[in-house]
């Protein structure tokens, strides 16, 4: 097992590939209202990288963030566990973290020690773990309870 298959550690090459995939995904962003383009990329345990981008709607509440877009695409492809995610915006002067809804969805599919990397337009990377961005995560045991 290489270091990329365990959460929290990535080789420099894998980290670079992940961030590059997030940057590439941001180019596909559909953000005509906010003009805030975001790309995300997930690293699956088998090394697969799955991109996602934000998709807005004139009814703002129906927008889909890049992180959730990537997760939905990955789940559709049969992936349900992830070791890392990179989030990039070419429109941000500082590394922007996932919103609260995305943090909740990220914590559903990623272990507490999984790496979450925020990246700004200048290439500044801000690495954190899921536990750091979602410190009081709870209720994972609900998946394991018996069905009545």
Q: Which residues participate in catalysis according to the annotation?
A: 67
Neighbours of 12 (CB within 10 A): 7
The beta strands (E) that lie in 9-129 are given as: 39-43, 49-53, 84-88, 115-119, 125-129
Neighbours of 14 (CB within 10 A): 18
Q: With beta carbons less than 8 A apart as the criterion, state whether 109 and 137 touch.
A: no
Place of tokens 């994972």: 140
Per-position b or e across 133-147, b if 16+ CB within 10 A of its CB: bbeeeeeeeeeeeee
Cα 103 to Cα 75: distance, rounded to the nearest angstrom? 17
């Amino acid at each position: 097992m290489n270091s990329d298959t365990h959460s929290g550690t990535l080789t420099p090459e894998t980290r670079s590939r992940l961030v590059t995939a997030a940057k590439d995904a941001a180019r596909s962003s559909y953000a005509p209202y906010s003009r805030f383009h975001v790309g995300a990329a997930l690293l699956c345990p088998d090394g697969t990288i799955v991109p996602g981008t934000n998709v807005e709607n004139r009814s703002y509440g129906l927008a889909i963030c890049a992180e959730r877009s990537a997760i939905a695409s990955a789940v559709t492809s049969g992936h349900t566990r992830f070791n890392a995610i990179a989030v990039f915006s070419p429109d941000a002067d500082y590394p922007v973290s996932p919103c609260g809804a995305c943090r909740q969805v990220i914590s559903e599919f990623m272990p507490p020690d999984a790496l979450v990397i925020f990246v700004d337009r200048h290439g500044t990377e801000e690495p954190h773990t899921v536990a750091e961005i979602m410190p009081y995560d709870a209720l994972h045991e609900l998946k394991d309870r018996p069905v009545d």
